[in-house]
Amino acid sequence: MKLRNQAKRKVLGGFTKVYLDQYWPETPESALGWTDNAVLMLAYQDAGLAVLKHFGGKPMPLLDVSTGPALAPLLALLTCVSEVQLSDYNLDNRLALQEMDVSYWRNYVPMLTKIYDEPYNHVDEILGYLDRKKSQKLPVNVDLFNDPIFPPTVSVDNFPIVSMNFVADSIASNRQDYFACLGKVLNLVRSGGAFIMSAVVDSNGWSLGQELEPSPNVSEKIITDFLVSNGLVIKNISRSMRYSDLSYSGGWIVLAATKE
């Protein structure tokens, strides 16, 4: 275990370590932050179950747009995913996705109460499932400000499920850029396919260490109206509780939608 932890520390450098420590810590550092993540994990499970229902109970391949270093969303979506292509703009994040020991996510497994019976009794088994899924394909580069956003080696048409978690709302400082990025991702959702999304709403910014990052202050209605105007049907939506002492302003939503 000591050697594995040393390897983990070697992988988690710079932005990657700061982000995980602040938003997805390995162990609880504040009751408020841990509660927010627990509610978020339940929301991801609801989205995954809605998508699983859409496909008649059959897990499907997932293309995740700009994963970041966090595997918690994938952990919560495992039962609706047959294989996954992870991606990120940042090389350190891609290395973390590829190399980091999945035991980092051990304390998040007991939150999976909506998709597993007594998950706290099967932690190693579920972590093994996560490790196999995330190891199927190497994480690839993605850039939402490019067109196309993925390199030509990625066959985006092969993925009936597309997901994007806290991305466009975290990298765009204004609504024009936000909708340009979101529109590119929605173009990846094929007819009959599904889209899973989490986003910060009613937010002017979020902190990363000592830096304050901008956010375009979009509302739930603005997001859902944009999805509907692009041919998607909202199947499920979950909302956060609102707290004033977190590292971001506003709240968040998690939704599942389909393109009929």
pLDDT at 211: 87
For 125, the domain range is 2-259
Give tens-digit pLDDT for 29-76.
Answer: 889 999 999 999 999 999 999 999 999 999 999 999 999 999 999 999
Residues 6+ apart with CB under 8 A from 6: none
Looking at residue 189, the DSSP 8-state letter turns out to be P
Distance CA 81, CA 73 (A): 12
Q: Domain with 122 in it: what CATH number?
A: 3.40.50.150
Considering the entire predicted model, what is its pTM?
Answer: 0.93
Total domains present in the chain: 1
Distance CA 62, CA 101 (A): 21
pLDDT at 11: 46
Give tens-digit pLDDT for 4-24.
Answer: 333 343 445 678 999 999 999
Distance CA 71, CA 227 (A): 25
Q: Which of 60, 138, 149, 55 is nearest to 96 (CA)?
A: 138
